[in-house]
Chain A
Amino acid sequence: MGRFLAGRVLATIPVMGVVATIVFLLLRLAPGDPAAILAGDAASPEHIAEIRARLGLDQPILVQFAEWIGRLLHGDLGTSIISNQPVTTLIGQRLEPTLALATTTILFAVIVAVPLGVLSAWRHGTWIDRGVMTLSVLGFSIPVFVLGYLWIFAVAMQLQWLPVQGYVSFRQGFWPFLERLILPTLTLSVIYIALIARITRASVLEVLGEDYIRTAHAKGVGERAVLTHHALRNAAVPIVSVIGIGIALLISGVVITESVFNLPGLGRLTVDAVLARDYPVIQGVILLFSAAYILINLAVDVSYTIFDPRIRY
Chain B
Amino acid sequence: MLRIFGTPLRTVGAFFVLAASLLSLDETAAAQDKKVLRVVMHSGLRITDPIITTAYIARNHGYMIYDTLFATDENFDIKPQMVKDYSVSDDKLTYTFTLRDGLKFHDGAPATSADCIASIQRWGKRDGMGQKLMDFTKELTAVDDKTFKLVLKEPYGLVLASLGKPSSNVPFIMPKRMADTPADKNVSEEIGSGPFRFVAAEFQPGLKVVYEKNPDYVPRTEPPSWMAGGKIVKLDRVEWINITDYQTAVNALINGEIDYIEQPPHDFIPVMKKSKDVQLVDYNKLGFSGMLRMNWLYPPFDNVKARQAVMLAVNQQDYLDAQIGNPDYQMLCPAMFVCGTPNETDAGAPKQNLEKARELLKESGYDGKPIVMMQPTDLAIVAPLAPVTAQALRAIGFNVDMQSMDWQTLVGRRAKMDPPAQGGWNIFHTTWVNADMMNPLANVGVNARGKTGGWFGWPEDAQIEKLRDAYARELDPAKQKNIAAEVQKRAYELVTYYPTGQYTSPIAARANVKGILSGPAPVFWNIEKQ
Contacts and interface: CB of A to CB of B under 8 A. Distances in A.
Nearest to B436: A42
B162 to A, nearest CB: 15
Interface residues of A, number: 46
Nearest to A97: B207
Interface string B421-435: 000000000101000
Interface string B3-34: 00000000000000000000000000000000
Given A259-B248, A264-B207, A37 B54 contact: no
B55 interface: yes
Interface string A253-271: 0000001111010001100
A32 B46 contact: no
Interface in A126-166: 149, 152, 156-157, 160, 163-166
B184 A51 contact: yes
B298 interface: no
Interface stretch (A66-74, A76-84, A186-194, A304-312): A76-84
A99 interface: no
Interface in A18-35: 31-33
Per DSSP, chain B at the interface is loop
Contacts of A152: 248, 251
Contacts, number: 136
A269 B53 CA distance: 21
Contact of A39 (B54, B444, B454): B54
B415 interface: yes
A82 B248 contact: no
B444 A37 contact: no
B242 to A, nearest CB: 8
A272 B407 CA distance: 12
Contacts of B90: none
B408 A85 contact: no
A41 interface: yes
Nearest to A148: B248
B412 A157 contact: no
Contact of B251 (A43, A51, A156): A156
A54 B188 CA distance: 15
Contact of B415 (A36, A80, A260, A269): A36
A83 to B, nearest CB: 3
A44 B453 contact: yes
Contact of B205 (A39, A45, A90, A163): A90
- Max chain B CB contacts within 10 Å: which of A38, A40, A42, A261? A42
Nearest to B184: A50
A276 interface: yes
A48 interface: yes
B453 A38 contact: no
Q: In which size bucket is the chain B interface?
A: 35 or more
Given A38-B53, A164-B251, A85 B207 contact: no
Contact of A41 (B46, B54, B378): B54
Nearest to A276: B408
A198 interface: no
Contact of B184 (A37, A45, A47): A47
B247 interface: yes
Contact of B168 (A40, A46, A83, A277): A40
B206 A83 contact: yes
A41 B407 CA distance: 11
B408 A275 contact: yes
A165 B243 contact: yes
Contacts of A43: 53-54
A93 interface: yes
B413 interface: yes
Contacts of B247: 149, 260
Nearest to B187: A84
Contacts of B378: 275
Nearest to A90: B205
A37 B44 contact: no
Contacts of A37: 408, 411-412
Contacts of A261: 248
Contacts of B168: 40, 42
Contacts of B406: 32, 275
A36 B243 CA distance: 24
Nearest to B431: A41
B52 interface: yes
Contacts of B409: 31-32
B411 A165 contact: no
B328 to A, nearest CB: 26
A118 to B, nearest CB: 37
Contact of B46 (A39, A93, A276): A276
B103 interface: no
Interface in B47-65: 47-48, 52-55, 58
A275 B254 CA distance: 29
A36 B53 contact: no
A272 B248 contact: no
B207 A83 contact: no
Contacts of A84: 47-48, 186, 188
Interface string B162-202: 00000010000000000000101110100000000000000
B126 interface: yes
Q: Which of A44, A50, A260 has the most CB of B within 10 A?
A: A44
B412 A33 contact: yes
Contact of B255 (A33, A44, A156, A268): A156
Given A36-B412, A50-B184, A54-B184, A41 B205 contact: no
A32 B409 CA distance: 4
A93 B242 CA distance: 14
B339 to A, nearest CB: 21
B257 A46 contact: no
Interface string B394-415: 0000000000011111011111
B453 to A, nearest CB: 6
A38 B47 contact: yes
B245 A260 contact: yes
Contact of A31 (B248, B254, B412, B417): B412
Nearest to B38: A166
A33 B411 contact: yes
**Among A37, A80, A260, A269, which residue has the most Cβ atoms of chain B within 10 A?**
A37
A164 B46 contact: no
Q: Which one of A40, A54, A165 has the greatest number of beta carbons of chain B within 10 Å?
A: A40
9 contacts: A32-B406, A33-B411, A39-B52, A44-B128, A47-B126, A80-B205, A165-B248, A262-B241, A264-B204
Interface of B: 44, 46-48, 52-55, 58, 126, 128, 168, 182, 184-186, 188, 204-208, 241, 243-245, 247-249, 251-252, 254-255, 257, 378, 405-409, 411-415, 417, 430, 432, 436, 444, 453-456
Closest A-B pairs by Cβ, 7 of them? A40-B54, A33-B412, A83-B205, A42-B54, A40-B53, A32-B412, A50-B184
Given A32-B408, A42-B455, A44-B128, 4 more contacts: A51-B52, A80-B46, A83-B48, A275-B407
